[in-house]
Structure 1
Amino acid sequence: LLWGVFGITDGNVSLRILNIGPSDEGRYKCFVDDDITYEEAVIELKVAALGSNPIISVEDYQRGGSRVRCRSSEWYPEPQVLWRNAQGHHIASLSEIRSPKVNGLFETEISVVINEHSNLNLSCWIRNSLLDREKESAIHISGQFLSKPSSEPSPLETK
């Protein structure tokens, strides 16, 4: 944590804090003493990071459909994450993982299984409530792609 006080001779005191991270979050006291006056202020430092754009990938066929996974990293505090359909309604996820990394920032992964009867327009929505900002990525998947793999040998296979 690096900081500096600027403008004290003009009656203006600013505090510049550089290289902060999640572990620096909290209450700080700032003291200004110029031999004439003495002032003290309490500062509440909140840390926030807007993470990476969500990356959506379509995984292997399983449980009657294809697994679609969404990943993003470098969020703080822990983000809200969900799947939404084309109308913006929440879709229940199969699994959700939000884990802090060594630097205190969060990585998130959420997955859902979709089939040819599902809504094939999906978006992965991640929100930082402290910043009141979100990031979203969308995907459209063709129903033909979601068909169950055939157990018949491919024409390229030999017996």
Structure 2
Amino acid sequence: MAERPDIVANAKIAIVCEHFGAIEWKDESTTSKPMPVYKATGKMAPMWTMVNSSKASNTLHQLYQDAFAGTPDALRMAMVAPKELNGSRSMWYGVGGSGTLGRSTIPTIGIIPQPDYLWTSMIDGGWSKLDIPTVVTQINVILRLITSLDATL
């Protein structure tokens, strides 16, 4: 973004997506086993969605929520907004481009599930912890959002 400030200067909205299809994994402790067992919970990792708080972002936020219409109940989303944006450090959780855009005045959503397996080393590189049908559903949410934004703006 530092190399192409012209793109950022002309941006109307930013949507950042990462880790789609992430299956939630947690350590499970039982009284019969002294060490916790790391295994799937049977749920999808929530779509943590960081949003910046500006009046210009209201349409983006609403259209994003609307884009979930008709999706399975298992597709969980939590929208988190910073307390302040301009002049004070926001509580934006993204890094890289997501963090830079989130701290800007450009209406931004960063859809970033935080799967625990990102912190583990696995023989198959983590592919066994990916749910392809959920990836497709999550991508369709974003496509509906972009379509509705295009029609609205």
TM bin (shorter chain): under 0.3
Greater C-alpha radius of gyration:
1
TM-score, with normalisation over the residues of structure 1? 0.25
Q: Hey, which of these two has a bigger chunk of helix by percent?
A: 2
Which has more strand, going by share of residues?
1
* TM-score computed with the length of structure 2 as normaliser: 0.25
